[in-house]
Amino acid sequence: MQLRILLACVAAGASFAAGWYVNGLRHESQAAQASEAHALAVAEAASAARTEEARRYDALHTIATQAQAQLDRAQADRRRADAAARSLRDAASIAAAACDSQATAPSQAASAPGMVLANVLGQVDAVAGELAAAFDASHAAGIACERAYGVIEK
């Protein structure tokens, strides 16, 4: 009788150990699957992040190129405007000198207003050119900033 109880206890213990072992294998398998799924999810997330970073970089590079092109066009326009203003100032100086030569002989004061006017107009034009250049640069930078923010916000 004791032998039967002993054999029953040994059989129960062996069954318990076998069940424990099989259950451990099953949990190990589930953990390995979860680990693989996690690694796959991490790889996919990293790939998506790299793709998004590349998209943003390309968009920002395009925006920077467009902004630089706009600044280059504005600088070319300013150079043309400066050349036109220079020729206009030269014409005004020539006209002022012509007016001076027609002035009455002893009056030197009559020649000063024409030269002063030509000088003032030249200075005003120079300042207007500088303001226009600053406006063009800030406008191009503002538009580039808006576009860049729009790209990053998406």
Q: Which residue has the higher pLDDT, 48 or 25?
A: 48
User: Which residues have C-beta within 8 Å of that of residue 137, sequence separation ≥ 6?
Assistant: 71, 74
Residues 137-153: tens digit of each pLDDT:
999 999 999 999 988 88
Mean of per-residue pLDDT scores for the chain: 83
Which tokens sit at 74? 């504005």
Residues 83-124: tens digit of each pLDDT:
888 888 788 778 777 765 655 555 555 456 777 777 788 888
- On whether the CB atoms of residues 145 and 113 are closer than 8 A, the answer is no
Domain coordinates in residue numbering, the chain: 2-153
Phi and psi, residue 113, nearest 5°: -60, -40
Residues 31-82: tens digit of each pLDDT:
888 889 999 999 999 999 999 999 999 999 999 999 999 999 989 988 998 8
- On whether the CB atoms of residues 96 and 114 are closer than 8 A, the answer is yes
User: Which residue do the tokens 């300013």 mark?
Assistant: 78
Q: Is the pTM of this model over 0.75?
A: no
Which tokens sit at 75? 């600088």
Question: What gap in Å lies between CA 38 and CA 32, rounded to an integer?
Answer: 10
